[in-house]
Amino acid sequence: MRAFTAAATAVAAPYPARLLLVSARPRFGHCRASPSARLLRSSCYASTTMGDETSTSTSAQAQDPAPLAVQGAGSVKQQISNLAALSLRATVPEVDVEPVVEVCTTKFGDYQCNNAMGLWSKVKGSGTSFKNPNAIGQAIAKNLPTCDVIESTSVAGPGFVNISLSNSWVAKRIQDMLVNGIKTWAPVLPVKKLVLDFSSPNIAKEMHVGHLRSTIIGDTLARMFEFSNVDVLRRNHVGDWGTQFGMLIEFLFEKFPEWEELGSQAIGDLQLFYKASKEKFDNDAEFKDRAQQAVVRLQGGDEKYRSAWKKICEISRNEFDQVYKLLDVQLEEKGESFYNPYIPQVLEGLSNQGFIKESEGARVIFIEGHKIPLIVVKRDGGFNYASTDLAALWYRLNVEKAEWIIYVTDVGQQQHFDMFFKAARMAGWLPDPKEKKFPKTSHVGFGLVLGADGKRFRTRSTEVVRLGDLLDEAKSRSKSELVQRLKDNGKIVDWTEEELEKTSKAVGYGAVKYADLKNNRLTNYTFSFDQMLSDKGNTAVYLQYAHARICSIIRKSNMEVEELKMNGKISLDHPDERVLGLYLIRFAEVVEDACTNLLPNVLCEYLYNLSEMFTRFYTNCQVVGSPEEPSRLLLCEATAVVMRQCFQLLGITPVYKL
C-alpha cells in the first residue's frame, strides 16, 4: 500500500495563509442568475405584464459588433451574459455590475436580462438621464452588440429585457456540434483542478446500500466536471487506519498463528471474520486490551503488524473493486493511513498559531458557533477523524494544489464538516466563503435510502443490503422483463444471449443509478425495484426506450447520417422544431448549473424533459418520408447525441435497441 512510502519525508511546514490565498479566483459562474430556475418550469416577468410589453427592435442594434471571443466558447447563457455585460458597460459606464441573465420560456423571448431595476436603485437621484427602470431596460436592449446570436429584443414592465435567439444561429450551433462533437458544448468553469472525495468505505467491511449514494453521486459529479475540462482527482478516502485493525489483527494472530502461510484462506469471508472478531472484542476484556495494544504496535511501525494490516486491506480492496467494476466507477485510493505521516506537523502548525487548546485531557480547537470543540488529539494521544481530515486538506491544498475540495457523505456528517471547514478558515487555509474565492471546500450531503416501511433499507433479517447483491437483482429483474416482452411481441429470435445479457445489465444498473440521482440528493428516497424498472414515467428504463426509439427512426430512414452532418442543413421553421432545438443548445448551461450547485438531479430533469420534448416534436413533425426529412433526421441525431452524453455523465450505458 502507498501509505508508508517516502511521502513522510516530504512533509513541510504548512504554507502561510497568504500563500494559500494567492490562487483565489472570482466567484463561480458568470452571472448571478438564480441557480434554481428550471428550464421548463421557469417563467419571466413578461408573462404577467403583457400590457407593458413594448417592442424595442426587430434585430439587436449596437454601435460595435460583438467580438468573436464573446460569441464563441461556453454555454449559451454565458454568451448572452457576455453580450449583456458589454451592453451594461455602454449603458451605465459609471456602475460596476454583473449581468443578471435568466432563461425565459414564454413567447416574449428565450433569455431575459434583469439588471434594470437594480441599476435604477443605484443611479436614481444622481442626475442620471434615465427616467425609470424601463428606460434603462430600453438602453440595455439598444446597446446589445450586433451579432448573429440575437434575432430580436423587447422590454417588459420595469426594464426586463427579453432576448430572442436567431433560428439560424441555433440551427448552426446544433450542426456544428454534430460535426465537431458534443465536447465543443462543454461549459467553461472558473476552476481548473479539484479533489472529489467520495465512496470511502471502511476496510474490512463490505460495501452495502449505504455506500450507493456517495459512490454514484460522487462519480456523476466527477464526470460532469471532467466533461467541463476540469482536472478531477477522484479520491477514495477509505477507513484503513482505525481501532478496528487492532481487533482484526489480534484475532488473526490468535486463530491462525501461521497466517502468513495460509494467506487469504486464513481470513476467508472477511465479513464473517470481522463479525467474529468484533464479538470477541466486545465480550473478552483481555482480548480487548491486546487489540488496543495491537493498534499501538501497528501505528508504531511493527513489521509483523504492518504485514497483517496490508493483507487485510488487500482482501477488502479486491472486494471493493468488484463493486466499482459493476458500477463503472473509477477511484484512486488515498486512505486515512496515507495522511497519517502528515498529521503531527499539521497539528504543530495549528498549535503554533494558537488554535489548539488542552481540554479535559484532549487537544481541541474551539469553533465559534459550536458548543462542543473539534477534538484533534484524543485523551490517549491518538489521532482521529478530524486530525486526519485536517492533514488531508493540508495535503490537497499544498501538495495537490486543488482549488476546490468536495466531500460526498451523508447529511449526518454536516456538523463535522462545518466545524472542520471553520477550523481551516480560522487558520487562514481558506478564504471567507462570503468572498466567493478559491480555494474552497464543499460538503455534498445526501439523505437515506429507505425501504417500503419508511425505515433505513435493510434485508428481512435486518442486515444491511449488500451492494453487489442489489445490483445483481436489478440485472436479473431487468432481464426477466426484457425476455418476457420480447417473447410477447415475437422478437426474441432477433436477440442473442450476449445482447440480452449486456442490455439487461445496462438497463438494470442504470435504473438503480437514475432512481437515486433524479432525486434532490438532500432528501431521503424509497428504494423500489418495481418503480425504478418501470418503462413509464421518469425512469431510466423509459429514457432508454426513448433513446432506442430515436435510433430506430434513424435506422429506418436508410439515410447516411454522417453524410447528412456534413452536407445537410437544419431548419427550425416548425414551432416544435424550434422548441427542441432551443432546448438542445441549453445542455451546456444545465451541466454548468449542476456543477455549480453540486446537484446531479438537475441533469436528470433535463434529460427527462428532453425526451418529452422530442416526443412532442416527433408527434407533430413527420420525419421519415417528409420533405423536411434530412433536417429532421439531424434533429433526431442531435437529440440522441445529447441523450447519450447525459447518460455518460450519469454513469449509465445507453442501449440502441429494446
Asked if the model's pLDDT at residue 56 lies above 60, the reply is no
Distance CA 324, CA 316 (A): 13
Beta partners for residue 366, in sequence order: none
Q: Is residue 263 very low, low, confident or very high in pLDDT (cuts 50, 70, 90)?
A: low
Q: Provide the grid cell at 299.
A: 501505528
pLDDT at 459: 63
Asked if the model's pLDDT at residue 41 lies above 80, the reply is no
pLDDT at 373: 96
Asked if the model's pLDDT at residue 148 lies above 90, the reply is yes
Distance CA 642, CA 647 (A): 9
Q: Is residue 631 very low, low, confident or very high in pLDDT (cuts 50, 70, 90)?
A: very high
User: Which helix (H) or strand (E) segment is 236 a member of?
Assistant: strand 231-236
pLDDT at 594: 98
pLDDT at 172: 96
Helices and strands in the chain: count of H runs, count of E runs = 26, 15
Beta partners for residue 456, in sequence order: 450
pLDDT at 58: 35
pLDDT at 381: 83
Taking residue 560's Cβ as centre, other Cβ atoms within 10 Å add up to 10
Q: Is residue 622 very low, low, confident or very high in pLDDT (cuts 50, 70, 90)?
A: very high
The pLDDT > 70 percentage for the chain reads: 87
pLDDT at 463: 66
Cβ pair 2, 240 in contact under 8 A: no
* Mean pLDDT, the chain, integer: 86
Q: Is residue 74 very low, low, confident or very high in pLDDT (cuts 50, 70, 90)?
A: confident
Alpha carbons within 13 angstroms on the beta-carbon side of residue 108 total: 25
Asked if the model's pLDDT at residue 633 lies above 80, the reply is yes
Asked if the model's pLDDT at residue 207 lies above 70, the reply is yes
Q: Is residue 242 very low, low, confident or very high in pLDDT (cuts 50, 70, 90)?
A: confident
User: Which helix (H) or strand (E) segment is 133 a member of?
Assistant: helix 133-142
Asked if the model's pLDDT at residue 307 lies above 60, the reply is yes
pLDDT tens digits, 467-503: 888 999 999 999 999 999 999 999 999 999 999 999 9
pLDDT tens digits, 547-563: 999 999 999 998 999 99
Q: What is the DSSP string of 289-358?
A: HHHHHHHHHHHHT-HHHHHHHHHHHHHHHHHHHHHHHHHT---EE--HHHHGGGHHHHHHHHHHTT-EEE
Q: At what angle do helices 167-180 and 629-649 cross, to 10 degrees?
A: 60
Torsions phi, psi of 610, nearest 5? Answer: -60, -45
Asked if the model's pLDDT at residue 462 lies above 70, the reply is no
Distance CA 46, CA 160 (A): 8
pLDDT at 16: 32
Q: Is residue 43 very low, low, confident or very high in pLDDT (cuts 50, 70, 90)?
A: very low
Q: Which amino acid is at 471?
A: L
The mean pLDDT value for 206-227 works out to 93
pLDDT at 31: 33
The mean pLDDT value for 32-43 works out to 32
Q: Is residue 205 very low, low, confident or very high in pLDDT (cuts 50, 70, 90)?
A: confident
Asked if the model's pLDDT at residue 71 lies above 80, the reply is no
Beta partners for residue 450, in sequence order: 456, 526
Q: Is residue 451 very low, low, confident or very high in pLDDT (cuts 50, 70, 90)?
A: confident
pLDDT tens digits, 578-611: 999 999 999 999 999 999 999 999 999 999 999 9
Asked if the model's pLDDT at residue 651 lies above 70, the reply is yes
Asked if the model's pLDDT at residue 66 lies above 60, the reply is no
Distance set, CA 4 to CA 252, 414, 507, 597 (Å)? 22, 30, 42, 36
Asked if the model's pLDDT at residue 281 lies above 70, the reply is yes
Q: Is residue 64 very low, low, confident or very high in pLDDT (cuts 50, 70, 90)?
A: very low
pLDDT at 29: 31
Q: Is residue 546 very low, low, confident or very high in pLDDT (cuts 50, 70, 90)?
A: very high
Asked if the model's pLDDT at residue 405 lies above 80, the reply is yes
pLDDT tens digits, 355-392: 999 999 999 999 999 999 999 998 888 888 999 999 99
- For 114, the 3-state DSSP assignment is coil
pLDDT tens digits, 83-131: 999 999 999 999 999 999 999 867 889 999 999 999 999 998 888 899 9
pLDDT at 461: 55
Q: Is residue 241 very low, low, confident or very high in pLDDT (cuts 50, 70, 90)?
A: confident
- For 20, the 3-state DSSP assignment is helix
Give the rounded distance of the alpha carbon of 102 from its chain centre: 22
pLDDT at 12: 35
pLDDT at 88: 96
pLDDT at 275: 86
Taking residue 477's Cβ as centre, other Cβ atoms within 10 Å add up to 18
